[in-house]
Structure formats: structure tokens, C-alpha cells
Amino acid sequence: MSVVKINVLTVNPEMREEIEKRFAGRAGLVESAEGFEAFELLRPVEGQDRYLVYTRWRSEEDFQRWTQSQAFQHGHAQAAADRPAGHGHGHGHGGPAASGAELWGFEVVESAGPKRG
Ligand code: HEM
């Protein structure tokens, strides 16, 4: 059964552009993780003000393995709070662009996509 893990990011209005830039320049390693199924960065436009980082995984174990991997750490190099500005991989600035993060977890009960014919 697939699971959905959503990281909910609180982003100050002046940091919105920065966080979107960071995701535009993200490491792109998650695509190669075992059991990875989907990723979306969702910008709040109605009813909420937090960004959602939507991910779907084949299983809980696959998600846990990714969070403990080098790929996860590398994919969060810019987000790491203790990284001094100007080091790392050359895009964006150091330090966190989000002022808060909360993890939501779900099991996929039903799902559908467009009919193909
Ligand atoms: C303290 C917690 C977290 C914060 C503040 C955070 C923030 C960020 C930021 C700003 C980026 C853009 C890249 C960068 O700036 O380094 C990023 C990448 C990403 N984050 Fe997080 N994140 C956190 C934890 C998580 C968790 C628990 C998940 C699981 C759903 C997640 C999913 C992702 C994914 C899929 C990427 C793209 C990585 C890639 O392309 O390989 N993050 N995160």
C-alpha cells in the first residue's frame, strides 16, 4: 500500500520566492530513491498559507530509508540551518528558508488518474 508524506512548510512572505527558487534548483535525487512514486511542491493560493511538499512512496519502509539516506541530506543541504552562507553547492543562500516544518503521513486508500484510451 502506498503512503503519502507531506512536509508542511511555514514560509514568511518575503521568503516565498527564495523557497520556490530552492526547489527549482533542488538536488533531484529523490527521483532515484527506491520506492519513490511522486513529488509535488504545492504553493498555497486558497484557504491555507503553508507550502506543502507532497511525496508518495511504495511503502513506509521506503520513505524511512530515504529520510535516513545521504540523498535526503544532500537534498536538504540548503535547508540545513547550521550551514554558513556561501558554502555548499553554489545556489541560493545558506540557512533555512522555512521558519517551520511539520510532517503529515497518510495511507492511500483509493486513487485514480485520467482514463487512457
Ligand atoms: C525540517 C524539515 C524540513 C525543511 C525545513 C525542509 C525544507 C526543504 C527545502 C528548502 C528544500 C529545497 C532544497 C534546499 O533548499 O536544500 C527541500 C527539498 C526537499 N524536501 Fe524538504 N524539508 C524538510 C524535511 C523534509 C521531509 C520530512 C520531507 C518528506 C516529505 C521533505 C521532502 C523534500 C523533497 C522531496 C525535496 C526535494 C529533494 C530532491 O530533489 O532530491 N523534506 N526541503
Q: 41 in a domain, yes or no?
A: yes
Name the residue at shortest CA distance from atom 27 of ligand 1: 7
Q: 10 in a domain, yes or no?
A: yes
Question: For residue 114, what are the CA distances in angstroms to 30, 74, 110, 111?
Answer: 25, 34, 14, 11
Assess contact for 69 and 33: CB atoms under 8 A.
Answer: yes
Q: Which of 9, 20, 67, 76 to mutate to test the pocket of ligand 1 (most atoms within 8 A of CB)?
A: 76
Residue 30 CB less than 6 A away from ligand 1: yes
Q: 53 in a domain, yes or no?
A: yes
Q: 115 in a domain, yes or no?
A: no
User: What is the rounded distance in angstroms from the CA atom of residue 8 to the CA atom of residue 2?
Assistant: 19
Tell me the residue range of the domain where 9 lies: 3-107
Q: What is residue 110's predicted lDDT score, i.e. its pLDDT?
A: 97
Q: 85 in a domain, yes or no?
A: yes
Q: Which of 3, 9, 15, 26 to mutate to test the pocket of ligand 1 (most atoms within 8 A of CB)?
A: 26
Q: What is residue 95's predicted lDDT score, i.e. its pLDDT?
A: 74
Q: What is residue 39's predicted lDDT score, i.e. its pLDDT?
A: 98
Q: 112 in a domain, yes or no?
A: no
Which CATH number belongs to the domain containing residue 9 in this structure? 3.30.70.100
Q: What is residue 88's predicted lDDT score, i.e. its pLDDT?
A: 45
Burial of 47 (C-beta count, 10 Å sphere; 0-12/13-18/19+): exposed
Residue 2 CB less than 6 A away from ligand 1: no
User: What is the rounded distance in angstroms from the CA atom of residue 6 to the CA atom of residue 71?
Assistant: 18
Cell of 100: 517551520
**Which single residue is written with the C-alpha cell 530513491?**
33
**Counted domains in the chain:** 1
Q: 117 in a domain, yes or no?
A: no
Residue 101 CB less than 6 A away from ligand 1: yes
Q: 14 in a domain, yes or no?
A: yes
Q: What is residue 91's predicted lDDT score, i.e. its pLDDT?
A: 43
Q: What is the pLDDT of residues 50-99, one digit of tens each?
A: 999 999 999 999 999 999 999 999 999 888 755 554 444 444 456 789 99
Cell of 76: 536538504
